[in-house]
Amino acid sequence: MTDALHFERPPLDEVVCGVQFAGVEWSVIHFGLFYAQIRDRYQRTQQRPSILPSLFDPHIQLDLAQVVVSSDPDLPLVWYESDDIPFLLQVQKDAFFVNWRHQSGAFTYPHFHTREGGTEGVWDRFVREWHTFSSFCDQQETGTPEVLACHLAYINHMVHGETWDVPADLTRWFLPLGGLHGSDAVSLFHMTMIYQVDTLSLRLQFRPAVRIADKKRLFVIELIVNGKLSVDTPLEAWFDKAHAAIVQTFLAQTTEEAHKEWRLS
C-alpha cells in the first residue's frame, strides 16, 4: 500500500537507511581497502566522528544533527561520496549507512523501492552496497557482519522564504504545529512526538536549523524509526515495516493542503 503512494514534490531532503552490526574485526587500513573497491562510484572520502550505538536506541532522544564522539580516535566514521550520484555511504567499525540526499536542481527522489522503469530506490541501493560491504568483509577475513539493530529516517526541510515566511505558515502543512499560531519566532521551538506503529517506535521531531550551504533558515521535520533486529525477522521485513510506519505517520500528521501542494497521488 505504501509503495503505491507518491508525492511528486515533497519537502524531503534526506533518507537514511542503516544498520548496527557485530562480528567484524575492523582496522583503519580496511577503510582504504574498501575505498579501492568502490571508488568507481564514490570518488571522495571524509573522516567524521563515530556514531555511538545510542543512535539505534528508540528510547534515547538523539538529534540526527548531534555528533557523539567515540572514545576510539583511530576508528572514525568515514563518508564515501560522489558529485555524480545522490547517495552517500557511511562506514565505521560497527555501523553502515546509505543516505539519499536531495541535490540541487529538480526534485528527483527515486522512491524507497525501485519502481518499474525508474531509477534505483533507496532500499535497493542499500541492499546492493550492504552486499558489497559484507562480501568485502568475507574477502578480507574480518568476519561476517551480524545485524543487531536498524535505523530508517526521513528528513524534511521547510525553507524560510520558500515554504513559510512567518511561523504560523507552518501550521498549513503540519497538524502538530498548531501551537505556532501567533508565534513570532521558531528559534527555540523543539517538539518530539513518539508513536507506536505496528510494534515499532517512531519518533517525529520538529526543530529549527540553518542550512550550512546558503545560511537559510529551516524548519526540520524528522521521522525516525530505530529498533533491534530479532533473529527471526528478515532485514527486508523490518525496513518494509519501518517504511510503512513513516509513510502512514507522515500522511496522518500533514494537512490536506500539504497533500495537494506536494502532489500526493
The DSSP secondary structure of 98-143, one letter per residue, reads: EEEEPPSSS-----SSPPTTSPPPHHHHHHHHHHHHHHHHHHTTS-
Residue 244 main-chain phi, psi, to 5 deg: -60, -40
Does 98 score more than 90 pLDDT?
A: yes
DSSP character at residue 234: -
Separation CA 256–CA 20 (nearest Å): 37
| Type of residue found at 253 | Q
Per-residue pLDDT of 233-262, as tens digits, reads 999 999 999 999 999 999 999 999 999 999
| Type of residue found at 3 | D
Give the per-residue pLDDT at 71: 45
pTM of the model: 0.91
Separation CA 239–CA 150 (nearest Å): 8
DSSP character at residue 166: S
Neighbours of 103 (CB within 10 A): 12
| Type of residue found at 209 | A
Per-residue pLDDT of 138-165, as tens digits, reads 999 999 999 999 999 999 999 999 989 9
Whether 57 and 71 have beta carbons less than 8 Å apart is answered as: no
Give the per-residue pLDDT at 148: 94
Give the per-residue pLDDT at 62: 46
Instruction: Kindly indicate the confidence band of residue 103, based on its pLDDT and cuts at 50, 70 and 90.
Output: confident
